[in-house]
Amino acid sequence: MTIAIIGAGNMGGAVLAGLLEAGHAPESVIVVEAREEQAAALREKHGVRTLPAPEAVAEADIVVLGVKPYGVVPVLESIASSLRQGTTVVSLAAGVPTSAMEPAVPDGVSVVRVMPNTPALVGEGMSAVAGGAKATPDAVAAAADLMGAVGKVVTVPESQIDAVTAISGSGPAYVFMIAEAWIEAGVHLGLTRDDATTLVIQTLAGSAELLKSGTHPAILREQVTSPGGTTAAALGALEQNGLRASFLEATRAAYVRSKELS
C-alpha cells in the first residue's frame, strides 16, 4: 500500500507522523511539498521519499490531500492525468465537498472526504469519513483504515461533515485555548507557571481518561461538586459567564464557516 501525501503541513504532517509512528514503512509513504526546503526537512526527519505530485500519485494507492481548501481542486486538476484507476483520493480539507472534487478526477478514481484533527500526530486523532457519490465501498473502507492508524474513526453522511468540522476538526483548538486560560488563572492565584501548567495538563488528561471510561459527563461533574463547595462556586461563575452558550455559539460559527468555505 503506497500512500502519497500532498501538503504535509500541520494536518497532513500530523497524519504523516502518526502513520509512521503506527508502523507504516517510510518507503511506502511519498510526500509532495510545495517548497524544496520543507520537502528536504521531511526527508531528513521521517526518512520518506519526496517527489513532484504527478510522479508521486502515479505510484500511489491512496492520495491524501493536505493542502488548504482553495488548493484542493487546482491540485486535483494538476494530477488528474497521472492518477491510476482504482486510486483513492482522501481529502482532509474543510469545506470542499466531494461534488467539487469528483469532476476533477477521472472515472475509476474514488474521492473520500475526511475530517481529521491534529491529535492524529500522537495516535489520538478523531476522524470522520464520508465517501463521495462515485466512491466504492472499498475506497471508503481504505480511507477509514488509513485514519484508523492514527486514532478513532466514524463514518458519516457527507451532509454531517460541516458539523464534524465544528466539533472535532476545530475542537483541539478549543481545548488548547481553555488550557491557556486555565494556566494563566493559576498564575493569577500565585502558582508558578510550571506548576500551573502541570496541574492543568494532568487534570485535562485525567479527566479525558475518566470520560473515555464511558461514564456520562454530568455524573462525573456531580462527583466533583460538593453541595455548597468550591466546585459549585466555580460552576456557578462559568454558567453566569455563559460557558454553554459560548460553546453553542462557537461551534455554530465554525459550522457556518465550514459551509461558507464550500
Ligand X SMILES: NC(=O)C1=CN([C@@H]2O[C@H](COP(=O)(O)OP(=O)(O)OC[C@H]3O[C@@H](n4cnc5c(N)ncnc54)[C@H](OP(=O)(O)O)[C@@H]3O)[C@@H](O)[C@H]2O)C=CC1
Ligand Y SMILES: O=C(O)[C@@H]1CCC=N1
Per CB under 6 A, which of residues 79..108 are in contact with ligand Y?
A: 94
Contacts of 134 (CB under 8 A, 6+ apart): 102, 107, 110, 111
In angstroms, rounded to a whole number, what is the distance separating the alpha carbons of residues 127 and 5?
Answer: 17
In angstroms, rounded to a whole number, what is the distance separating the alpha carbons of residues 236 and 255?
Answer: 28
Long-range contacts of 103-108 (CB under 8 A, 24+ apart): 104/73, 104/76, 104/77, 104/80, 105/76, 105/80, 106/80, 106/81, 107/134
| Under rule CB under 6 A, residue 168 binds ligand Y | no
In angstroms, rounded to a whole number, what is the distance separating the alpha carbons of residues 3 and 59?
Answer: 8
Minimum distance between the CB of residue 32 and ligand Y, rounded to whole angstroms? 20
**Closer residue to ligand Y, CB minimum distance, 30 or 120:** 120
Minimum distance between the CB of residue 171 and ligand Y, rounded to whole angstroms? 8
Contacts of 83 (CB under 8 A, 6+ apart): 57, 58, 63, 89, 105, 106, 109
Picked from ligand X, ligand Y, none, the partner binding residue 127 (CB below 5 to 8 A depending on kind) is: none
**Closer residue to ligand X, CB minimum distance, 94 or 101:** 94
Inter-residue contact 139 to 131 (CB < 8 Å): yes
In angstroms, rounded to a whole number, what is the distance separating the alpha carbons of residues 198 and 203?
Answer: 8
Inter-residue contact 148 to 120 (CB < 8 Å): no
In angstroms, rounded to a whole number, what is the distance separating the alpha carbons of residues 50 and 245?
Answer: 46
Is 8 annotated as ligand-binding? yes
Picked from ligand X, ligand Y, none, the partner binding residue 68 (CB below 5 to 8 A depending on kind) is: ligand X
Is 9 annotated as ligand-binding? yes
**Closer residue to ligand X, CB minimum distance, 122 or 210:** 122
Query: Which one of 50-58, 164-172, 174-182, 214-222 is the stretch in contact with ligand Y (CB under 6 A)?
Result: 164-172
**Closer residue to ligand X, CB minimum distance, 225 or 262:** 262
Only one residue has cell 487546482, namely: 74
Q: How many residues bind ligand Y (CB under 6 A)?
A: 4
**Closer residue to ligand Y, CB minimum distance, 159 or 241:** 159
| Under rule CB under 6 A, residue 170 binds ligand Y | yes
In angstroms, rounded to a whole number, what is the distance separating the alpha carbons of residues 111 and 245?
Answer: 36
**Closer residue to ligand X, CB minimum distance, 8 or 140:** 8
Query: Which one of 14-22, 82-90, 162-170, 191-199 is the stretch in contact with ligand Y (CB under 6 A)?
Result: 162-170
Picked from ligand Y, ligand X, none, the partner binding residue 63 (CB below 5 to 8 A depending on kind) is: none
The correct pick among 50, 87, 127, 165 for binding ligand Y (CB under 6 A) is 165
| Under rule CB under 6 A, residue 60 binds ligand Y | no
Annotated binding site for NADP(+): 6-11
> Which residues contribute to the site for ligand Y (CB under 6 A)?
94, 165, 169-170
